[in-house]
Structure formats: structure tokens, C-alpha cells
Amino acid sequence: MKKRGHLGAQIWALLLSAAMLCGTGCSSTGGKDSTSADYTWGNVAIGGGGYVTGMEYNPTEEGLVYARTDIGGLYRRQKDGNWVPLTDFLGSDEWSYIGIESMATDPVEPNRVYFAGGTYMNDPGALFASEDYGETWTRFDAPFSCGGNQSGRGCGERMGVNPKNNKEVWFGSRDSGLWKTEDYGKNWEEVTSFPVKGNYKQESNSIGIMWVEFDPTSEDMYVGVAMTDGVCIYKTADGGSTWTPLAENAKGMYPLHAGFSSNGKLYLAYSDNCGPNLSPTAGAVYCYDPASDSFTDITPDLNDGRQGGFGGISVDAQNPDTVVVSTLGWWSDNGDNLYYTTDGGKTWSGLFHNNTGETGYQMDTSEASWLDWGRGENQAKTGWWVADVNINPFNSDEVMYGTGATIYSTTNMTKIGTESVNIAFDAYGLEETAVFKMIAPPANESGDSPQLYSIMGDLTGFAHMDVTKCPDDAHFMKNGKPTGLDCAFLEPNIAVYASEEKTTALTYTKDGGKTWESVKHKPDPAAGGQVAMAADGSSFIWVPSSVSGTPYVTTDFGETWYYVEGLGYNAKITADRVNPKIYYAACDGLFYVSKDGGLTFESTGQMVADSAEPVTVFGKEGHVWLTSTTLIMYTEDAGESFQTVKTLSTVDSIGFGKAKNEKNYPVIYAEGDDGTNGYGIYKSEDKGENWVRINDDQHLFGNLNPKYITGDSNVYGRVYFATDGRGIVMGDIVQ
């Protein structure tokens, strides 16, 4: 089939490959074009935060390994241990491709790498090829979809490079059969000789072809397919011209992962469903011997209370009888387990034995202790949703596995059963959170306040004491599905967030996020909504997510509440960042001010757009800016008068950061378009008279949604913005 699309030469800056560690900013340097300032791009350090669905070591180049995520793109790990993103060239119009269905690293020419992109099956899919370790990509627009964030996303790898003819790359789709390229991924065609497409569906999603494997001792290739009749594995000995099904095996279960040993045995991890949203309830491990054309059940049986199925499996490249397999869906107090054999599955050792309480491992989360998840003296869980596990082909002691929150690696796996296996956090630079909002208040006089507060999906949020370091467990919010956030800019250790959970609908801190406490009384049975906090923390207003949208104010952290008078329903409220008594609101096309701490509001008579979002300026009493897609308005007299800024044709969000010097107005950052240089991240240092786009087309960061951006109140030039899957992106001026 002819190629339908091409990205051209996406020129990535060379310094991308020298990205810094999580502890020093996780940054990478982007290129400069005629529209952009010199900026270096990285992330606020968290250390994962989302589902890492697969990892792949290159078998011929030591230290080269790739990781795929379900909504956060593809990463490459450097020899220094840091992960660097490879798919940030995909922007909002192509965001669906950063849900990675599968990937493949070339065992002959390690510079070549491939991935299949497509987050959901109702969106188009694409197959990407690179010949420079992922710095630039060629794209083939596929006539089928992918499901990088759907059921069975941990299966694989669906994509594989033929080690005996590496021009040939194979990919198994979910509902459109088997595909092949013979020119390094430039053109792809369906393998019409392949007899099945898979007939098992989960959560209404086709699982299809789950993996492609090559026998190192022959010319044979094997393909695993989700078939309900138990005939799930097909073999070809003639390059795909004809196919032979292997005998029915483990009917009612599916071989999610497979791996060949160097002596030609195929090891298989089975589960009764394909996970992860629907947890498997049963599983098995088998070894298939092509010489005898037979399956042998080698399921670990340690009488350890194992539940669920099996996810990932890997064979040691240096020891063909050494295999590791992970459980999938075992929601034990310890997490998922890893089993390890050195005799081809005759005997096994496990990381832990739930029936006896014995553990043979030690978790090291010191570099990202939020992963302890409040377990106190009990060490962090080994992880959950462990769908893929890999033995480093150059170091048998390193076993890497992905979880629903991060990546871990062992440092002494060969000692299992005799010594405690050390398992360490291994996601430096990989960031995969879906972010809602961030606030970067000025530092307090004692210097012990957070640099950044944030709220996000799944993890609730964090109070970052240092944005270049992964947060500790003490500053991890943990509880609730957050919807709103604010803090006191004069007392930045005081903050509040709103949540959809009714028991934790409003939660506050008075010590910079070391401890959080939910309000004891609520004036409304609803939850969620938005919050705005007075500059000194003396009050905050809550607009719950309810039909009425009635706002309430408290002056004692929820002990007592008052109706906010003077506003209509669903008002958008913000606090003055200097005067604790002043709040502002946009409601029903008018601008309102409260001068009594939020108890009553009065209209200034100034008209604003119905969709206007008010944003206040730190250090500037009475300064409020409003955005409404095509218009920016601002007031410097608390809404008595407004001026209009028309220098951006589109503006979705704005925020403010530290000025270059005290005489200057705070730097304004915006997500929008100036009508000439395209949609992107802009900044203005002259109150919106002129703008410069500071990101380039190689740094688009996928889905910038919800639209939220802010500058840093303490660091000139630093900007943060939210993404749906790429974490909190942080930009700094190149020094």
C-alpha cells in the first residue's frame, strides 16, 4: 500500500540526548526557529505517574532501551539512566498518536526504532519509523486504528523486526490483521495470507494480534492472537506465505506475552483476560518446544496465595533456562509478584509469599518517595498492572518492569531466594500525568514554602518543594479526584483543593502540604467545583459542582459557612493576590468585586464575555486579566475600567511569572496563536503589546488540555503548562 503521510525531517536538538536527571530538572534543549526564543524544555519532576505498558531492551547495543506509555508517548533511556521523550513533535491535532500501541527496536541496526501510535480505536492509527534513535520520524498513516489506552494495552510486543532481514518489520493490529513492511517502515501492506484477526473482545474493544516473535534457531516466526477457541498461536516457516496453527492450548486464556530462549523454546504468560482494567482471575505459564511441537505447563506453584493471571515474561539472553514472569491483577498488600526460574520452569522463586508474610525484596523509592503512597513503616508496593517485564540482555541482575505508576528495576535479581532482591525506582525523566492546574506562589520569607502546587488525574496532586526533584510522600495529596486549587500568595503554605469525593470535597493545608485535612462541615451535599483563597488564607470561596452552582465562603476552614451574596450561578471567582479582603468574579457577562472577604459582591458595571476567565496578578493589587478565546482584557483598578489586548488572535489561557527586574511588569505567558507563527506557547514582557512564541514545532507536547499555564513567581523566564499525559511541562530560558 502506498504511504499516505510523511512527517518530513523533524529536526530535534542534539542536546535532547543529554537530558538531565530527574533530580536536576529532567530538561532537554529544543531547537530555535524564527518564531521562538531560546528555551530549554523539560518537566516538573514527579517520576512517572502513569501506566508504562512496555519496555524493550536492544539486544545488540548495551544500555539502549525504550519504554512506551498508554497516554504519554515513547521514551528512550540513556546510558546515564535518564529517559528522554521521543514523541513531543506530535501536537494537539495529532495528540492521539502519543498513546503507544507497540514499539520495536532493531536488533541489527540499533539506530532504527519503530512504534505504532493511536490512543483509541475510534481514532486513526499510524506507524512511525526512525533511523536515528527516535530523533526524527517517518510516518505511515494506517488504514486501521490502535488502542494504546484501551483493554489489552499491556500485551505485546505487537511489532517486531525480523533479525535475519531487518528491512522487514511486522505489526499485528487489533482488528485489521497482520501487516508488514519490507523497506524499514516506509510502506506497509497487509499480510493477507494470515488466517485470523482475533475474535476476543474486552470492554467492547478488539484485542486482535498480541505479539510477534522470531525463533533464533530457525527461520520460523510466531504470532499470538486473542482467539476464544484456544488456538492462539500461528507459525510460518516461509516468511508469511503460509501459516500453521499450533494445537489448542489453555482454552479460555490468552498468551499476553511471549519470549524465545536462545535454544529455541518459546515461553508464554497466560491470563483469562487481557487486562488491565478488567483484572485477570486466573493464569498459567507454558513452555512450547518446537522440536516436539508440545506445550508444557510450568506455572509457578509456591502455595503463596497467588491470585489473578500472568502479564509479562522474559528470557535471559545469557542463560536460556532463566525466565522471569510477572503476575497481573494480584491486588495483594505487596502488589504484583515476580517469579524467577533458572531451570526452565521446573522450580521457581518469588519475591514474596503472601501466605507466610515472607518477603524477599527491598523497595528503594528514596528518589521518589511519593510511591510509598502513605504506607508508613511498610515499604512501597512492588507495583500493580505489571504487564511487561524484561531481563537486561547484558546484565542478568537487572530486571525492569512497568507498573500503573512508574518503572522499577532490580539490581541483583540473580540472588533471589538467597538474598533480598533490591528493587529501585527507575523512571528518571519519564513523566506521564494528566494535569489540571498548577500554582507557583512567591516564596515566603523563611524559604520553606512550596515552589509549586498541582492537581491532576489519578494521583490527586503534589506540593513541590523543589520542582526539579520528585516529591516525597509527605507532600503527596493522595485523596480525591481534584477539580479546583488555590493558595494564599501572601502565606503560600496555606492552600486548598476541591475534589469530586464527597467525604474529601474540600481539603486544606496550613504547612505547605506536609499535612492535609478535609473540612468537617459542608454547606452543600455536592462536591467538586472551584475554589478561590484570600491572599493571606483568611478565607476561601467554594463554588461546588452542582445544578445551582451557589458559591459559599468560609473564614474558619469550613467550621462555618456563608452564602456569597450578589452573584448568579456558576460564577468564575478569583482572589486578589495582595489584598486579602478582595475577590473578583465574572458572572452573567458582568464583572464583580467583593471588598469584604467574599461575603458580598457588587457589579462594577463593566461588561465581559460570558466565557471570560479572570486571572489575578501577584504583587499587583487590583490587577485582573480576563481571557475568552479571541480576546484579552485587563484592569488595573479592580474592574472600574478595562483595556483590550488584541495582539493574539487566539488565547486559551494566560498566567504570570517573575519579571526580569523589579521595574518591569510580570511576564505574561499564554497558550494561543498570534495569527502568524502558529499555535503554541507565547510570552510577553510588555503587558501584551508584543509576543514571542517560545516553543517550536519539535516541542508541541501532545494534548495541551485542559488549557492551563502559569509562570514562576520566583524564577524569571520559567513557565509551566498542563498536558494530558506528558505531565507538567517546564520551560526555562537557555543560559
Predicted local confidence at residue 610, as pLDDT: 86
The pLDDT tens digits for 390-432 are: 999 999 999 999 999 999 999 999 999 999 999 999 999 999 9
The pLDDT tens digits for 42-75 are: 999 999 999 999 999 999 999 999 999 999 999 9
Mean pLDDT of the chain: 93
Predicted local confidence at residue 331, as pLDDT: 94
**pLDDT at residue 349 greater than cutoff 70:** yes
The confidence band for 549, taking pLDDT boundaries of 50, 70 and 90, is: confident
**pLDDT at residue 23 greater than cutoff 80:** no
**pLDDT at residue 19 greater than cutoff 70:** no
Give dist(CA 57, CA 106) in Å, integer. Answer: 10
The burial of 81, by beta-carbon neighbours within 10 Å (0-12 exposed, 13-18 middle, 19 or more buried), is given as middle
Predicted local confidence at residue 440, as pLDDT: 98
Question: Would you give the DSSP letter of residue 317?
Answer: S
Predicted local confidence at residue 724, as pLDDT: 97
The pLDDT tens digits for 626-654 are: 999 888 999 999 999 999 999 999 999 99
CB 76 within 8 A of CB 64: yes
The pLDDT tens digits for 74-106 are: 999 988 889 999 999 999 999 999 999 999 999
Q: What dihedral angle (degrees, nearest 10) is formed by the CA atoms of 388, 371, 427, 41?
A: 130
Domains of the chain: 14-30+47-425 (2.130.10.10), 435-656 (2.130.10.10)
Residue in the structure block whose three cell numbers are 521514551: 75
Contacts 24+ apart (CB under 8 A), 689-694: 689/645, 689/647, 690/647, 691/647, 691/648, 692/35, 692/36, 692/37, 693/35, 693/36, 693/37, 694/36, 694/37, 694/39, 694/719, 694/731
Give dist(CA 487, CA 10) in Å, integer. Answer: 40
Least confident of 299-303, 368-372, 720-724: 299-303
| Closest by CA position to 103, among listed 187, 183, 6, 171 | 171
- Which of the two residues, 311 and 31, has the higher pLDDT score? 311
Q: Which residues are catalytic?
A: 70, 458
The one-letter code for the residue type at 719 is V
**pLDDT at residue 34 greater than cutoff 60:** no
Span 163-189, average pLDDT: 98
Predicted local confidence at residue 36, as pLDDT: 55
The pLDDT tens digits for 555-578 are: 999 999 999 999 988 899 999 999
The pLDDT tens digits for 222-278 are: 999 999 999 999 999 999 999 999 999 999 999 999 999 999 999 999 999 999 999
**pLDDT at residue 728 greater than cutoff 90:** yes
**pLDDT at residue 32 greater than cutoff 80:** no
Predicted local confidence at residue 80, as pLDDT: 87
Predicted local confidence at residue 361, as pLDDT: 97
| Closest by CA position to 35, among listed 578, 583, 650, 678 | 678
Predicted local confidence at residue 565, as pLDDT: 97
